[in-house]
Amino acid sequence: MEFIDLPPMLQAAGSVRLPGSKSISNRVLLLAALAEGDTLVEALLDSDDTRVMRNAIVALGVEVAEEGEALRVSGCGGRFPKLRADIFVGNSGLSIRTLVPAIVACLSGGDDAAAEVRLSGVPRMHERPIGDLVDGLKQLGARVEWLGEPGYPPLALKPALLGAERVSVRGNVSSQFLTGLLQAAPLVARDKPLVIEVEGELISRPYVEITLNLMERFGVRVEREGWSRFTVPAGQRYTSPGRIAVEGDASTASYFLAAGALGGGPVRVVGAGRQSIQGDVKFADALAVMGAEITWGDDWIEARAPASGKLKAFDLDLNHIPDAAMTLSVAALFADGPSTLRNIGSWRVKETDRIAAMAAELRKLGATVDEFPEALRVTPPAELRPAVIDTYDDHRVAMCFSLATLGGAYVRINDPKCVNKTFPEYFQTFAGITRPVPVLAIDGPSASGKGTVAARVAAALGFDHLDSGALYRIVALAALEKGVALDDEAALAGLAAALPARFEGDKVLLDGRDVSDAIRSEACSVGASRVAALPAVREALFWRQRAYRRGPGLVGEGRDMGSVIFPDAQVKIFLTASAEARADRRYKQLIDKGMPANMDDLLRDLRERDERDSRRAVAPLRKEDDAALLDTSDMTVGQAVDFVMAEAAALR
Ligand SMILES: Nc1ncnc2c1ncn2[C@@H]1O[C@H](COP(=O)(O)OP(=O)(O)O)[C@@H](O)[C@H]1O
Ligand SMILES: Nc1ccn([C@@H]2O[C@H](COP(=O)(O)OP(=O)(O)O)[C@@H](O)[C@H]2O)c(=O)n1
């Protein structure tokens, strides 16, 4: 499984130019395809979902050409030229739900009896309902055949004359059904008006407003009575507006605005603002309810943390911003109490069951989550835990969990490429506005001076100090005490995973006992180097070591700080010295502590350990390409510290 590790972040600030809106891009592509005349579409989103729509209109015979950064769509004037096609819609709900009514309308009254368009998608798409939409189309006379489970894709559309003047559709499953019917309506209402009635409550209304707004840009007027009855007057045709610029994506904006609110800010998103036609800009109002400071421009929004520093819990009906509301469920981790997200039932039929998915993943971070049929209550933990987040092939799950890093937790996002659905550059953009907790990694062989230098540098910088070798030594000590064999990998990994050890200043405590000296014995030195060669032991200590990365920063020393535990460390040092110099230092250290020591034994032992540490299969000791080499054979401690402090200047 591919993954991306996001380190804990100190803060977020900066400016982001938003990628094009998915909702607008896909509507514009279809309307431009159906219109009379060429449309030059600017700032179109390039992502999996928009490629689905683009490929679909091309498969239906519409010409599309790149012109610099823009796309020229040569409209077909109301009837797709090719009505024999197999269209793959991936996992794009909007694409299938708007293509089906438009194709059905084009199949009406044609003279090719063998015309047939089939639509299919990824397995999840075949679980996403479309039956209510098809029922509506059948009222008009459409011929639709289910190719799998009735009510779900895949399906086949066949020629049939559409007749009725009235159609009704359910509004409480997906507003995309209504959008699909509305966009196809002018193709049906050639001689007589078409009335679309909505049964039940219409959810996600702002998306329908985007539809009406864009239809108007393409010259089609819709009469609306409340949100339950829409009349499309007869004889209208889509005509190209010539050129159209796609707004920035307001749903995507939610991640960056939240980053500003959670990570200090200010973070500004450019491309959607006060004048946006997208309902999701209202996400900024929800952040304001939490106490974030929001500033609006015509085409930008800026968010920063509340002056008090603490975000407030909320209880909100989020029916109008279902997508951006996912971001709010992660923001709830930063609130001063339990927050409730209401009226989000549509989450159940999205890319995944988002209520279940968010509940499961938020819990991994330590939150208490109550799941209801159409709501979620999130109670933040005292401290976020590092978590491995599963993303369910859902771009929004992947994107919104990146925000947890602003709460000081390491987050591993599994299958991060699922963001390609709407924002392939997401993680790079997120990295551009966030500042990871700094890490200075010092690796090197035994007695090279890592511990001594790390302690001094950490004190000078005001950072924490992680002596990772001590963890392996404690495992060795615990094993020796409990009589666990030093090659019993499973038992040793079990010991390591549940190690009741703590660092307190200079002291190392095991089960509350001071073992600072005990772990430095020769037996523990040899034992540590043996248990450290076992992959399961290293695995068991992996997240534990990462948890030491906390603001304002960390100096980590060991063998694999810069290669495995903190590969993104901003400063890496490979500290070494000749074997003779190191044996000499170790000898003096032991004699000072009143411990027995023999120079020849020490030198042999040191060489053996060097060998074992460098030859082992997992996390071998070696200098990383991006580490600065420091040979202290002929240096004083002060000189070594000065060298590292000079490198550490890069952290500021
Ligand atoms: N140039 C130097 N840099 C770091 N330590 C040095 C240097 N010269 C002598 N020493 C001494 O070497 C000894 C071993 O250092 P230590 O920090 O325990 O090494 P490590 O953590 O790499 O095993 C310490 O007593 C330290 O004072
Ligand atoms: N990050 C680390 C740190 C230590 N170790 C192992 O743990 C042993 C003890 O580490 P240490 O840093 O206390 O050892 P010294 O350098 O003090 O001898 C080393 O010999 C390594 O085998 C490791 O594998 N990875």
Is 323 known to be catalytic? yes
The predicted pLDDT at position 110 comes to: 85
Q: Is the pLDDT of residue 173 over 90?
A: no
Q: What mean pLDDT is predicted for residues 557-570?
A: 96
- Work out the average pLDDT over 508-535: 93
Long-range contacts of 56-65 (CB under 8 A, 24+ apart): 56/87, 56/89, 56/95, 56/99, 57/29, 57/30, 57/33, 59/85, 59/86, 59/87, 60/33, 60/85, 60/87, 60/103, 60/106, 60/117, 62/33
**Does residue 361 line the site of ligand 2, with CB under 6 A?**
no
Q: Whose CA is nearest to atom 21 of ligand 1?
A: 451
ipTM: 0.95
Q: Which atom of ligand 2 is nearest to the CA of 447?
A: 16
Domain count for the chain, please give it.
3
Question: 265 and 319 share a domain?
Answer: yes
Of the three residues 213, 245, 277, the one that is the final residue of a domain is 245
How many whole angstroms separate alpha carbon 485 and alpha carbon 496?
A: 14
Once rounded to an integer, what is the mean pLDDT over residues 299-305? 98
* Distance in Å, CA 546 to ligand 1 centroid: 24
Residue 637 beta carbon below 6 angstroms from any ligand 1 atom: yes
Residues 501 and 581 in one domain: yes
- Please give the single-letter amino acid code of residue 363: R
Q: What is the mean pLDDT of residues 629-638?
A: 96
pLDDT above 70 covers a percentage of the chain that reads 100
The yes-or-no verdict on residue 589 having pLDDT over 90 is no
Residue 166 counted as an annotated binding residue: no
Out of 48, 249, 280, 323, pick the active-site residue.
323
503, β-bridge pairs: 508
Residue 87 has pLDDT above 90, yes or no: yes
**Ligand 2 touching residue 472 (CB < 6 A):** yes
Nearest to 10 by CA among 285, 262, 249: 262
The answer to whether residue 595 scores a pLDDT higher than 90 is: no
In short, whether 529's Cβ falls inside 6 Å of ligand 2 is: yes
**Band (454; pLDDT cuts 50, 70, 90):** very high
- Ligand 1 close to Cβ of residue 468 (< 6 A): no
Which of 436, 471, 496 terminates a domain? The answer is 436
Dihedral sign for Cα atoms in the order 619, 622, 625, 627: positive
Q: Is 95 annotated as a binding residue?
A: no
**Sign, CA torsion 388/391/396/398:** positive
User: How many angstroms separate the alpha carbon of residue 41 from the centre of ligand 1?
Assistant: 65
**Ligand 1 atom closest to Cα of 444?**
22
Same domain (yes/no): 606, 474: yes
> What is the CA(563)–ligand 2 centre distance, in A?
14
Query: Is the pLDDT reported for residue 118 higher than 90?
Result: yes
For residue 363, the domain's CATH number is: 3.65.10.10
Categorize the per-residue pLDDT at 395 as very low, low, confident or very high, splitting at 50, 70 and 90.
very high
CA 583 – CA 591 distance, rounded (Å): 12
Task: Tell the burial category of 542 from Cβ atoms under 10 Å away from its Cβ (0-12, 13-18, 19+).
Answer: middle
pLDDT at 617: 86
pTM, full prediction: 0.90
CA distance 295 to 287: 11
Structural domain ending residue among the three candidates 193, 213, 245: 245
On whether both 130 and 235 belong to a single domain, the answer is: yes
254-278, pLDDT tens digit by residue?
999 999 999 999 999 999 999 999 9
pLDDT(369) > 90:
yes
* Residue whose CA lies nearest to ligand 2 atom number 12: 469
Residue 564 CA, ligand 2 centroid: distance in Å? 14
636 lines ligand 1 (CB under 6 A): yes
> Are 294 and 399 contained in the same domain?
yes
- In this predicted model, what pLDDT tens digit does every residue of 13-67 receive, in sequence order? 999 999 999 999 999 999 999 999 999 999 999 999 999 999 999 999 999 999 9
Q: How far is residue 386's CA from residue 411's CA, in Å, rounded to a whole number?
A: 6
Amino acid 109: pLDDT: 86
Are 114 and 172 contained in the same domain? yes
Would you say the CB of residue 394 lies under 6 angstroms from ligand 2? no
Say which range, 52-61, 404-413, 606-615, has the weakest mean pLDDT.
Answer: 606-615
Upper half-sphere CA count for residue 227 (Cβ side, 13 Å): 16
Report which ligand 1 atom has the smallest distance to the Cα of 453. Answer: 4
Residue-level pLDDT at 542: 97
Query: Given this model, what pLDDT does residue 594 score?
Result: 87
Question: Per-residue pLDDT averaged across 491-501, rounded?
Answer: 95
Q: What is the CATH number of the domain that holds 609?
A: 3.40.50.300
- Domain range for 270 is 3-19+247-436
